[in-house]
């Protein structure tokens, strides 16, 4: 996720089909929006600037104090005036502090929303199967997610899936504490404790960063023995820096309060200077209030701008577990584009209205995941249909994370319109069905071809026998030859028809013997791989495969011939194919067996996945028109 040419995180997406250009563009825009959200949260580092400004104001107050002492003899204001002004200042100070606290709370809630949006895709997951003896060793297998390794800057080669990978990058000062707490948590058979720990890890760049780790354990019901542990870690370095800055700010605040108390103790000596001090403090308070209001307004404007431009609906709902009530407290303007309702209209919906706009066949699944998330306090993801304001059904995907706030559970989530994605999947399914039917017809034609060849061989044997028996019977021989030529003509014509059918296929079709040597190939092989038919016939099939698939075909055939175990026959597999120029490409291959004269032959069907994606684009050209919104 890039923002201002800076990497803020990684968004990982898995798909069983090639992504369309508009889908990639949508994902890139979503990544940019999420990266902007992360960058906005990191702007909290500006608190350091507040500390510098506060220090500068402290120096100014000290200078004013010295000036007040020098002018103490010249001021003539009475004690009663000081008391009245003091009361007014305290009242104004209290009002200002209340206003600052209110604004700060609003800003905090906005930052929490942004943080939760970022949290959906920034956590690194891991899990471990607990050894039978519950003893953790360096070689104990751990499953580290690609996101976790990416967050640390490592890959599979330098961060293998075992415990020692984590221990090697754990800060020396944290190792004993963290590991002891982790072991005690696993061995605690009461199941009443959780593991929540903050420690430092060395990332790929060599620096140590702060991370928060959380996990839960699956135990046997009777003995309470740990069976499996799963959890996540996320980077909290910026949060720690912010906490330290706030701590420093609190210390300076307490220091200023102590100085203020000392100054109040000297009020009797500084009677005539109080009014000047009050005016100075009031001016500083007013400036600070204006600055805070301006910054809060800018952050609120930025937050609303981001939610309006994210291609999804940002929402927040609250459920009071004590009063058994639920309501939506926030929803972004994008709801109008997805379901046709204005935000204020949707916020007014009660439970019955929400039930009405959920598709009847998916309501139970929605509420089941919703309530399960409330109990486990884990995020939920749901896909289903919701009724548009105009009555049509819209496919949506909702993701939300719960958090406690007193007796209330707050869900912060995002909802996407995936209607076009479902339509594309349905079209792709229909195309695959048509291709499978064509493939079956081609296989049947090949079977008929080989059967005809067998019949021809049998007829040739019969002809030889007749020749031996009839001897010089020229007339019978001519008739037999005539029939043979007619049969050969029929076979040749059928071969031409089958060859035309094979060449019309969009798949590359090859026949190989038990040694993997190519016996025949259709014209698609030339266009797909760049080899001519004469070049490929007589070569081993492995010349069309890229590593590691190139070395597996001969072994698979030998294993089948020796064991008769059909691991690849009749199945479709994903492989890396290779053209004549060395270019590798993604393909799918299916293999069937043919037996002739106790000899094994195999027919392979190879499909270029990139060509398949092109066919889909040709079927639905509207998706590629300029200006179409995805």
- Residue 300 neighbours by CB under 8 Å, 6+ apart: 106, 107, 110
At 11, give phi and psi (nearest 5°): -110, 115
- The tokens describing 224, both together, are 């309470």
Contact 393, 386 (CB under 8 A): yes
235 vs 55, more confident = 235
The pLDDT of residue 534 is above 70 = yes
Angle at 116 between CA 339 and CA 106, to 5 degrees: 90
DSSP three-state, residue 588: strand
Q: Give the residues across from 283 on adjacent strands.
A: none
Q: Which of 222-231, 419-428, 496-505 has the lowest mean pLDDT?
A: 496-505
Contact 158, 203 (CB under 8 A): no
What is the enclosing helix (H) or strand (E) of 315?
strand 313-320
Per-residue model confidence as pLDDT tens digits over 75-85: 666 556 767 76
Domain boundaries, the chain: 41-119+243-305, 121-239, 313-417, 434-497, 505-630
- β-pairing verdict for 508-513 and 518-521: antiparallel
Helix residue ranges, H only, 381-511: 419-470, 474-504
Q: In the 3-class helix/strand/coil scheme, how is 345-373 assigned residue by residue?
A: HHHCCCHHHHHHHECHHHHHHHHHHHHHH
Q: Give the residues across from 401 on adjacent strands.
A: 412
Measured CA distances, 348 to 326, 327, 355, 446 (Å): 12, 8, 14, 66
- The tokens describing 568, both together, are 């690849």
Give the mean pLDDT of 371-395. 93
Q: How far apart are CA 618 and CA 431, in angstroms?
A: 12
Nearest to 363 by CA among 386, 381, 347: 386
The CATH code belonging to domain 505-630 is 3.30.450.20
The CATH code belonging to domain 121-239 is 3.30.450.20
Say yes or no: do domains 121-239 and 505-630 share a fold: yes
Give the mean pLDDT of 453-481. 72
Q: What is the pTM of this model?
A: 0.30
Contact 588, 507 (CB under 8 A): no
The pLDDT of residue 200 is above 90 = yes
* pLDDT at residue 223, rounded to an integer: 81
The pLDDT of residue 161 is above 80 = yes
Give the mean pLDDT of 400-422. 90
Contact 236, 198 (CB under 8 A): yes
Nearest to 511 by CA among 502, 498, 520, 503: 520
- β-pairing verdict for 393-405 and 380-387: antiparallel
Contact 589, 401 (CB under 8 A): no
Eight-state DSSP code of residue 123: P
Nearest to 398 by CA among 418, 416, 423: 416
CATH 3.30.360.10 fits 313-417, yes or no: no
Tell me the longest C-alpha to C-alpha distance in the chain.
Answer: 153
Per-residue model confidence as pLDDT tens digits over 604-621: 889 888 776 666 666 565
């Amino acid at each position: 996720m890039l923002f201002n040419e800076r990497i803020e995180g990684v968004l990982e997406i898995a798909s069983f089909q090639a992504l369309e250009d508009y889908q990639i563009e949508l994902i890139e825009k979503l990544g940019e929006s999420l990266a902007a959200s992360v960058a906005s949260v990191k702007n909290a580092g500006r608190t350091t600037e507040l500390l510098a400004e506060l220090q500068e104001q402290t120096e100014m107050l000290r200078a004013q104090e010295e000036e007040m002492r020098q002018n103490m003899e010249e001021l003539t204001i009475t004690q009663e005036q000081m008391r009245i002004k003091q009361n007014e200042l305290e009242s104004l100070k209290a009002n200002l502090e209340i206003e600052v606290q209110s604004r700060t709370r609003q800003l905090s809630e906005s930052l929490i929303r942004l943080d939760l949006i970022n949290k959906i895709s920034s956590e690194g997951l891991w899990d471990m199967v607990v050894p039978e003896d519950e003893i953790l060793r360096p070689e104990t297998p751990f499953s580290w997610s690609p996101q976790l390794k990416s967050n640390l800057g490592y890959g599979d080669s330098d961060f293998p899936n075992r415990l020692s990978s984590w221990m090697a990058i754990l800060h020396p000062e944290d190792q004993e504490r963290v590991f002891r707490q982790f072991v005690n948590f696993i061995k605690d058979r009461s199941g009443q404790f959780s593991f929540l720990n903050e420690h430092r890890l060395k990332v790929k760049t060599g620096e140590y960063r702060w991370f928060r780790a959380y996990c839960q354990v699956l135990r046997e019901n009777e003995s309470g023995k740990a069976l499996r542990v799963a959890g996540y870690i996320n980077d909290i370095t910026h949060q720690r820096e912010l906490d330290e800055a706030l701590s420093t700010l609190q210390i300076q605040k307490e220091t200023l309060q102590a100085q203020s108390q000392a100054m109040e103790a000297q009020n009797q000596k500084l009677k005539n200077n109080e009014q000047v001090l009050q005016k100075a403090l009031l001016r500083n308070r007013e400036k600070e209030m204006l600055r805070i209001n301006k910054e809060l307004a800018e952050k609120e404007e930025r937050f609303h701008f981001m939610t309006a431009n994210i291609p999804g609906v940002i929402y927040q709902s609250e459920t009071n577990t004590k009063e058994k009530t639920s309501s939506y407290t926030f929803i972004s303007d994008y709801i109008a584009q997805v379901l046709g309702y204005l935000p204020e209209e949707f916020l007014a919906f009660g439970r019955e209205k929400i039930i009405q706009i959920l598709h009847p066949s998916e309501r139970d699944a929605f509420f089941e995941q919703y309530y399960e998330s409330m109990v486990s306090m884990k995020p939920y993801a749901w896909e289903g249909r919701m009724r548009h304001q105009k009555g049509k059904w819209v496919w949506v995907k909702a993701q939300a994370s719960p958090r406690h706030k007193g007796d209330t559970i707050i869900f912060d989530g995002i909802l996407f319109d995936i209607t076009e994605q479902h339509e594309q999947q349905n079209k792709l399914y229909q195309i695959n069905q048509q291709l499978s039917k064509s493939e079956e017809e081609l296989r049947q034609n090949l079977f008929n071809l080989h059967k005809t060849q067998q019949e021809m061989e049998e007829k040739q044997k019969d002809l030889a026998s007749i020749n031996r028996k009839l001897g010089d019977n020229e007339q019978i021989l001519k008739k037999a030859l005539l029939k043979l030529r007619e049969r050969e003509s029929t076979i040749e014509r059928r071969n031409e028809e089958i060859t035309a059918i094979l060449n019309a296929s969009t798949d590359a079709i090859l026949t190989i013997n038990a040694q993997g040597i190519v016996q025949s190939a259709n014209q698609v092989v030339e266009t797909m791989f760049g080899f001519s038919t004469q070049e490929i016939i007589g070569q081993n099939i492995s010349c069309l495969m890229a590593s590691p698939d190139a070395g597996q075909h001969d072994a698979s055939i030998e294993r089948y011939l020796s064991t008769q175990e059909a691991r690849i026959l009749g199945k479709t597999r994903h492989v890396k194919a290779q053209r004549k120029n060395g270019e590798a490409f993604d393909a799918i291959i299916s293999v069937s067996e043919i037996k002739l004269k106790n000899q094994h032959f195999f027919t392979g069907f190879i499909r270029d996945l990139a060509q398949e994606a092109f066919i889909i684009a040709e079927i639905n050209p509207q998706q590629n028109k300029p200006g179409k919104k995805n």
